[in-house]
Protein backbone atom coordinates (compact mmCIF):
# COMPACT_ATOMS: atom_id res chain seq x y z
CA UNK A 1 0.00 0.00 0.00
CA UNK A 2 2.86 2.39 0.84
CA UNK A 3 4.43 1.60 -2.50
CA UNK A 4 1.19 2.42 -4.36
CA UNK A 5 0.82 5.70 -2.45
CA UNK A 6 4.43 6.64 -3.27
CA UNK A 7 3.88 5.87 -6.97
CA UNK A 8 0.69 7.93 -7.05
CA UNK A 9 2.44 10.84 -5.34
CA UNK A 10 5.36 10.66 -7.79
CA UNK A 11 2.95 10.56 -10.76
CA UNK A 12 1.04 13.57 -9.41
CA UNK A 13 4.23 15.57 -8.91
CA UNK A 14 5.49 14.68 -12.38
CA UNK A 15 2.17 15.70 -13.93
CA UNK A 16 2.49 19.12 -12.29
CA UNK A 17 6.05 19.74 -13.43
CA UNK A 18 6.63 22.05 -16.42
CA UNK A 19 8.66 19.38 -18.25
CA UNK A 20 5.69 17.02 -18.27
CA UNK A 21 3.42 19.66 -19.77
CA UNK A 22 2.52 18.94 -23.41
CA UNK A 23 2.74 22.08 -25.51
CA UNK A 24 0.49 22.61 -28.50
CA UNK A 25 2.09 24.21 -31.56
CA UNK A 26 0.56 25.63 -34.74
CA UNK A 27 3.68 24.80 -36.80
CA UNK A 28 5.38 21.39 -36.92
CA UNK A 29 6.41 19.97 -33.54
CA UNK A 30 9.88 18.45 -33.97
CA UNK A 31 10.63 18.00 -30.28
CA UNK A 32 13.30 15.33 -29.90
CA UNK A 33 14.65 15.76 -33.44
CA UNK A 34 18.14 14.32 -33.75
CA UNK A 35 19.54 17.19 -35.79
CA UNK A 36 20.30 20.82 -35.09
CA UNK A 37 23.51 20.79 -33.10
CA UNK A 38 24.90 23.70 -31.06
CA UNK A 39 27.11 26.08 -33.02
CA UNK A 40 29.19 29.22 -32.68
CA UNK A 41 29.46 31.75 -35.51
CA UNK A 42 30.58 35.38 -35.81
CA UNK A 43 27.91 37.97 -35.11
CA UNK A 44 27.26 41.26 -36.83
CA UNK A 45 29.16 42.79 -33.90
CA UNK A 46 32.30 40.79 -34.81
CA UNK A 47 32.02 38.62 -31.67
CA UNK A 48 31.35 34.88 -31.39
CA UNK A 49 27.73 33.90 -30.72
CA UNK A 50 26.17 30.48 -30.18
CA UNK A 51 22.86 29.02 -29.14
CA UNK A 52 24.09 28.63 -25.56
CA UNK A 53 24.41 32.44 -25.33
CA UNK A 54 20.63 32.72 -25.46
CA UNK A 55 19.63 30.23 -22.76
CA UNK A 56 16.59 31.55 -20.93
CA UNK A 57 15.13 32.96 -24.15
CA UNK A 58 13.10 31.34 -26.89
CA UNK A 59 15.11 31.46 -30.13
CA UNK A 60 13.91 31.77 -33.72
CA UNK A 61 16.58 30.66 -36.21
CA UNK A 62 16.42 31.50 -39.92
CA UNK A 63 18.92 30.88 -42.73
CA UNK A 64 19.07 33.45 -45.52
CA UNK A 65 21.25 36.10 -47.14
CA UNK A 66 21.26 39.87 -47.46
CA UNK A 67 21.05 39.97 -51.28
CA UNK A 68 17.91 37.81 -51.29
CA UNK A 69 15.19 39.52 -53.33
CA UNK A 70 12.10 38.06 -51.67
CA UNK A 71 12.03 35.21 -49.14
CA UNK A 72 14.58 36.64 -46.70
CA UNK A 73 13.27 40.19 -46.36
CA UNK A 74 9.72 38.82 -46.19
CA UNK A 75 10.69 36.46 -43.37
CA UNK A 76 12.59 39.17 -41.52
CA UNK A 77 9.59 41.51 -41.82
CA UNK A 78 7.41 38.71 -40.52
CA UNK A 79 9.62 38.25 -37.45
CA UNK A 80 9.56 42.03 -36.99
CA UNK A 81 5.76 41.75 -36.88
CA UNK A 82 5.97 38.78 -34.50
CA UNK A 83 8.13 40.79 -32.09
CA UNK A 84 5.61 43.64 -32.13
CA UNK A 85 2.74 41.26 -31.45
CA UNK A 86 4.64 39.65 -28.56
CA UNK A 87 4.77 43.01 -26.77
CA UNK A 88 6.87 42.87 -23.61
CA UNK A 89 7.52 39.15 -24.18
CA UNK A 90 9.61 40.08 -27.24
CA UNK A 91 12.55 40.80 -24.94
CA UNK A 92 12.52 37.10 -24.03
CA UNK A 93 12.92 36.06 -27.69
CA UNK A 94 16.08 36.10 -29.79
CA UNK A 95 15.90 36.04 -33.59
CA UNK A 96 19.07 34.70 -35.26
CA UNK A 97 19.71 35.15 -38.99
CA UNK A 98 22.45 32.85 -40.31
CA UNK A 99 23.73 33.75 -43.76
CA UNK A 100 24.00 31.12 -46.48
CA UNK A 101 26.22 33.57 -48.41
CA UNK A 102 29.22 34.15 -46.12
CA UNK A 103 31.41 35.35 -49.01
CA UNK A 104 29.33 38.54 -49.30
CA UNK A 105 27.66 38.68 -45.88
CA UNK A 106 30.49 39.88 -43.66
CA UNK A 107 29.75 41.03 -40.11
CA UNK A 108 29.72 44.62 -41.43
CA UNK A 109 27.17 43.81 -44.14
CA UNK A 110 24.99 41.96 -41.62
CA UNK A 111 25.25 44.93 -39.23
CA UNK A 112 23.76 47.14 -41.94
CA UNK A 113 20.95 44.70 -42.76
CA UNK A 114 19.74 42.66 -39.79
CA UNK A 115 19.12 45.45 -37.21
CA UNK A 116 17.04 47.31 -39.81
CA UNK A 117 14.26 44.84 -39.02
CA UNK A 118 14.73 44.88 -35.24
CA UNK A 119 17.73 46.08 -33.23
CA UNK A 120 17.51 42.90 -31.11
CA UNK A 121 18.00 40.57 -34.10
CA UNK A 122 21.47 39.06 -34.54
CA UNK A 123 23.05 38.20 -37.90
CA UNK A 124 25.64 35.41 -37.95
CA UNK A 125 28.33 34.46 -40.44
CA UNK A 126 31.67 32.65 -40.56
CA UNK A 127 34.13 30.92 -42.84
CA UNK A 128 32.22 29.23 -45.69
CA UNK A 129 33.04 25.66 -44.55
CA UNK A 130 31.82 26.43 -41.02
CA UNK A 131 28.60 28.04 -42.26
CA UNK A 132 28.05 25.03 -44.53
CA UNK A 133 28.52 22.67 -41.58
CA UNK A 134 25.93 24.56 -39.53
CA UNK A 135 23.50 24.64 -42.47
CA UNK A 136 23.93 20.89 -42.92
CA UNK A 137 23.26 20.32 -39.21
CA UNK A 138 19.87 22.00 -39.70
CA UNK A 139 19.11 20.25 -43.00
CA UNK A 140 19.29 23.56 -44.86
CA UNK A 141 20.04 23.35 -48.56
CA UNK A 142 21.71 26.33 -50.23
CA UNK A 143 23.05 26.48 -53.78
CA UNK A 144 24.48 29.38 -55.77
CA UNK A 145 22.74 30.18 -59.05
CA UNK A 146 24.64 32.21 -61.68
CA UNK A 147 23.07 35.55 -62.54
CA UNK A 148 23.59 38.42 -64.91
CA UNK A 149 26.96 40.20 -65.19
CA UNK A 150 28.79 37.53 -63.18
CA UNK A 151 26.60 37.91 -60.12
CA UNK A 152 24.70 35.16 -58.39
CA UNK A 153 21.73 34.42 -56.20
CA UNK A 154 21.39 31.62 -53.67
CA UNK A 155 18.50 29.18 -53.71
CA UNK A 156 17.96 28.00 -50.15
CA UNK A 157 15.57 26.35 -47.72
CA UNK A 158 13.13 28.90 -46.41
CA UNK A 159 11.68 27.63 -43.13
CA UNK A 160 12.77 28.62 -39.66
CA UNK A 161 13.27 26.85 -36.35
CA UNK A 162 12.12 27.66 -32.83
CA UNK A 163 14.00 26.64 -29.70
CA UNK A 164 12.72 26.59 -26.13
CA UNK A 165 14.35 28.49 -23.25
CA UNK A 166 16.59 25.47 -22.52
CA UNK A 167 18.05 25.58 -26.04
CA UNK A 168 16.11 22.53 -27.26
CA UNK A 169 14.93 22.44 -30.88
CA UNK A 170 11.13 22.25 -30.73
CA UNK A 171 9.36 23.65 -33.82
CA UNK A 172 9.84 23.89 -37.58
CA UNK A 173 8.00 26.88 -39.07
CA UNK A 174 7.38 26.57 -42.82
CA UNK A 175 7.88 29.65 -44.97
CA UNK A 176 4.68 31.66 -45.25
CA UNK A 177 3.23 30.60 -41.90
CA UNK A 178 1.03 33.34 -40.43
CA UNK A 179 2.73 35.65 -37.92
CA UNK A 180 -0.06 34.88 -35.44
CA UNK A 181 0.89 31.18 -35.53
CA UNK A 182 4.54 32.00 -34.81
CA UNK A 183 3.48 34.28 -31.96
CA UNK A 184 1.37 31.44 -30.53
CA UNK A 185 4.23 28.96 -30.74
CA UNK A 186 6.73 31.35 -29.16
CA UNK A 187 4.27 32.07 -26.35
CA UNK A 188 4.03 28.33 -25.76
CA UNK A 189 7.81 28.12 -25.55
CA UNK A 190 7.94 31.05 -23.11
CA UNK A 191 5.47 29.45 -20.65
* Burial degree of 138 (CB within 10 A; 0-12, 13-18, 19+): buried
Average pLDDT over residues 7-27: 55
Helix orientation angle between 107-117 and 71-86, rounded to the nearest 10 degrees: 50
The CATH fold assigned to 26-190 is Glutaredoxin (3.40.30)
pLDDT at 113 over 70: yes
pLDDT of residue 21: 55
Q: From the CB of residue 183, how many other CB atoms can be counted at a distance below 10 Å? A: 21
So what's the pLDDT on residue 23? 86
CA atoms within 13 A on the CB side of 187: 14
Q: How far is the first Cα of the chain from the last one, in angstroms, to the nearest whole number?
A: 36
Give the DSSP H or E segment for 96: strand 93-99
**122-125/93-99 β-pairing:** parallel
pLDDT at 15 over 60: no
Average pLDDT over the chain, rounded to an integer: 90
| Annotated domain spans of the chain | 26-190
48-50 and 40-43 strand pairing: antiparallel
The predicted-structure confidence for 36-64, as pLDDT tens digits, reads as follows 989 999 999 999 999 999 999 999 999 99
Count of other CB atoms within 10 angstroms of residue 91 = 11
Q: 33, exposed or middle or buried, with CB in 10 Å at 0-12, 13-18, 19+? A: middle
What does the pLDDT average to over 155-166? 95
pLDDT digits (tens, 9 = 90+) for 118-153: 999 999 999 999 999 999 999 999 999 998 888 899
Amino acid sequence: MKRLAALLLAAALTACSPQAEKLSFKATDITGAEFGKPFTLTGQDGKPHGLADYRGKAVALFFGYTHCPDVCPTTMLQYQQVMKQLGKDADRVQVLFITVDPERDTPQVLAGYVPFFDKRFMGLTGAPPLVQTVANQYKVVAQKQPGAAGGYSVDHSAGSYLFDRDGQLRVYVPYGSPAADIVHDLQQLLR
